[in-house]
Structure 1
Amino acid sequence: MYKILVINPGATSTKLSLFEDEKEVISESIEHSVSEIENCKTIMDQLPFRKKCVEDFLKRYNISINELDAIAARGGILPPMKSGTYQVNEDMVNYLKTKTRVEHASNLAAVIAFELSKNSSKGLPVFITDPISVDEFIPEARISGIPQLERHSLFHALNMKIVARFAAKELNKEYEKCNFVIAHLGGGISVGAQRKGLMIDVNNATDEGPFSSQRTGELPMGDLAKWIFKNMHSYSKNDVKSTFVGKGGLFAYLKTASLKDALKLAEKDEYAKLIVEAMAYQVSKEIGGMAAILGGDLDAIILTGGMAHSDYFVELIKRRIDKLGVVMVYPGAYEMEGLALGALRALEQLEDTKIWEGENIL
């Protein structure tokens, strides 16, 4: 039996779990105070108190670092890389500390885990699995419409990849032989075409695809350009960014980022109902496009993420796409399982563990 510690930092919390093989036996989500977060100028300034949270967790449950067989850490904002499980090394840690292009809490995970592993007497391995920067695009997926702007692969890789593995197992098929359209329905919405284990195309949930709870998704480019030039002296760069990511989507229309609250409004308000249905409409349209990329050769369409908990919202999507293929629903996020199972596959040598080779690894 393998014991695996899982570390998954979020913006204001740190999720921790202990897995014994595939079973999660201990789980906590530790909330951090606003003052703790705001007193840190950079993400890496949070390292001391985040690391102490993990050490306290181990003490609380009387877990020795020497009992562990591996630490599974959430992958940070790394350069484009193939999916899979990577062993964390000094070069990766240094990149996350000093070179990553985006300040994000996930950058802390591998750094914390690597530092903890040094206290082990047996050379404790540290792994990351399917970070957000997974890039498996086919060449034509990179073309945007003008050569100055290339499309980039950024999506909810960890959750989408693990639910694809769940679906393949449920279908009694090999993961690497399946074709899926996968829609992660959360604060951002990622819809991707996965062919034989590779996500060959996916919308960037920050600025492409359907609108979500707080993000605008794709916008009419001509009108967008006019709006930006008209308001460029009234808005700061951060104001403009927050209009599209943070204050867009459901929030812009209904002043709530909660699908649950939006659905309550929709029960008595036709406008709210229209907005909810429009979001489902756009998700369905994106799924149809990804199905076309796969030539209609689908093993299943997978719906996952927090909004997949809503049977009503799922049905709004299914009624438009169910003729495209089998629809499988995995509500919520399975990040902790994805990390633990990635490390377990590495420990059991069920797949080749990848080695970090620096910034140009594709």
Structure 2
Amino acid sequence: MKVLAINPGSTSTKIALFEDDACLLSRNVAHDAAQLAAFDTISAQLPYRKQTIEALLAEENADLSGLDAVVGRGGGLIAMEGGTYEIDAKLLEDARTGANGVAHPAQLGSLLADEFAREVVARAFVVNPPDVDELQEVARITGIRGVYRTVHLHALNLKETAIRHAATLGKSYEDCRFVVCHIGGGVSVSAHREGKMIDGFDIVGGEGPMAPTRCGSVPVADVVRYAEGRDLGEVLSLCHKTGGFVSLTGTSDAIELTERAAAGDEACRLAWDAMIYQIGKAIGSMAVVLEGQVDGILLGGGMAHSEDLVQRLRDTCAWIAPVTAYPGEFEMEAMAAGAQRVLSGAEEPKRYTGDPVWNPPTCWID
């Protein structure tokens, strides 16, 4: 089964061509920041991104004949269950408009997949997009009427890491309980039970551990006072762009930060220590969600390459369950694998409806 995977990011687009488990081509196409800034909306970037990918495929003499499917990263969608979704008109429209209100280049993934699939007459999918929300109901409730928890997490990599680790145990993902972390530009910590991601932290909304560009959970009253007299957009950007390492040390580069810490920069050392401390706390809370029955704690993402980070989390959390590191990410492989499961008949494709996966209980609707 031949699958093309497309993963648009803020300044680049990753593409990979797979034939069964073999990766025939994997490239990261850089985009000129000034050119991207010229577009008024994310969806307006579509022709430019497509032309860039086409140029790369031509340069690599990539053969798309016999392509069975094209998979896009997905994004901009109303919250949905995890799985592989066949791209249709409703999904494309919500991705194009950014129906969930979160503007991110990932929403171009489904649009690009549809364009390429139409040209080669292949099927088009999205697999576990960032909009996956499988929270159990009790995890959604806050102490403010009308304010409910949702999540934006690295669902694709979190779920693929869990699927792969379950296989090493001789089990299926649906038979395991894991705390799974993605530790990179954003830090996702999540609880997985019976094939569902039943709890986690909203890394777009200002929850969970701090990250290189994200503030993480902060005291609400202090934030309200901090916001007084400041522009709302400036304050909200602390949740996903200007918080975390950027706010505390002026850099979002974890390697630079740890090098500065080793050279005696106290602010960098404290920021690094605090992030690891907060990740450990978050892992502990997800272990409680799983009632202490945890088959493994899994660490993925770029920062899982850090032996210091992994060892310190192992020292902190190994009493809960074995800690296993999967440095980097499996996003491209996960996208291809999701499509291949559908193509082989091992999994039924899901249909995107645009309907919320959860509605507030009627007892709290005014």
Q: TM-score range by the shorter chain?
A: over 0.9
Alignment match, 1:289: 285
Alignment match, 1:326: 322
In the TM superposition, 1:275-354 aligns within 5 A as: 275-354=271-350
Q: CA RMSD in A?
A: 1.6
- Contact 1:84–1:129 (Cα < 8 Å) also in 2: yes
One-letter amino acid of the counterpart of residue 73, structure 1 = G
One-letter amino acid of the counterpart of residue 173, structure 1 = K
- State yes or no: 1:103 paired with 2:99: no
3-state SS of 2:133 partner = coil
The percentage of counterpart residues that share the same residue type is 37
Give the 3 Å change call, closer, same or farther, for CA 97–247 of structure 1 in structure 2.
closer
One-letter amino acid of the counterpart of residue 178, structure 2 = F
- Contact 1:184–1:304 (Cα < 8 Å) also in 2: yes
Q: Distance in 1 between matches of 2:329 and 2:95?
A: 24
- State yes or no: 1:214 paired with 2:210: no
- Contact 2:92–2:111 (Cα < 8 Å) also in 1: yes
3-state SS of 2:248 partner = helix
Give the 3 Å change call, closer, same or farther, for CA 67–243 of structure 1 in structure 2.
same
3-state SS of 1:118 partner = helix
Alignment match, 1:256: 251
Q: CA deviation at 1:262?
A: 1.8
Q: Distance in 2 between matches of 1:110 and 1:245?
A: 23
Q: Distance in 1 between matches of 2:356 and 2:276?
A: 38
Q: CA deviation at 1:271?
A: 4.3
TM-score (norm 1): 0.94
Alignment match, 2:234: 239
Q: Which runs of 5+ in 1 are unaligned?
A: none
Q: CA deviation at 1:59?
A: 2.7
TM-score (norm 2): 0.93
Q: CA deviation at 1:21?
A: 0.7
- Contact 2:78–2:356 (Cα < 8 Å) also in 1: yes
Q: Which runs of 5+ in 2 are unaligned?
A: 359-366
Q: Distance in 1 between matches of 2:267 and 2:109?
A: 42
3-state SS of 1:312 partner = helix
Q: CA deviation at 1:356?
A: 2.2
Give the 3 Å change call, closer, same or farther, for CA 179–252 of structure 1 in structure 2.
same
Q: CA deviation at 1:15?
A: 0.9
Q: Distance in 2 between matches of 1:148 and 1:77?
A: 22
Q: CA deviation at 1:29?
A: 1.0
- Deviation string, structure 1 residues 52-110 (Cα, Å, up to 9, x no partner): 12322333344454420111111112111110101111221122123522222111111
Q: Distance in 1 between matches of 2:18 and 2:137?
A: 38
- Contact 1:65–1:119 (Cα < 8 Å) also in 2: no
- Contact 1:5–1:17 (Cα < 8 Å) also in 2: yes
What is the number of residues matched between the two proteins?
A: 355
Q: Distance in 1 between matches of 2:351 and 2:268?
A: 49
Give the 3 Å change call, closer, same or farther, for CA 85–274 of structure 1 in structure 2.
same
Q: Distance in 2 between matches of 1:243 and 1:176?
A: 36
3-state SS of 2:119 partner = coil
Alignment match, 1:5: 4
Q: Distance in 2 between matches of 1:62 and 1:215?
A: 40
Alignment match, 1:143: 141
One-letter amino acid of the counterpart of residue 111, structure 2 = V
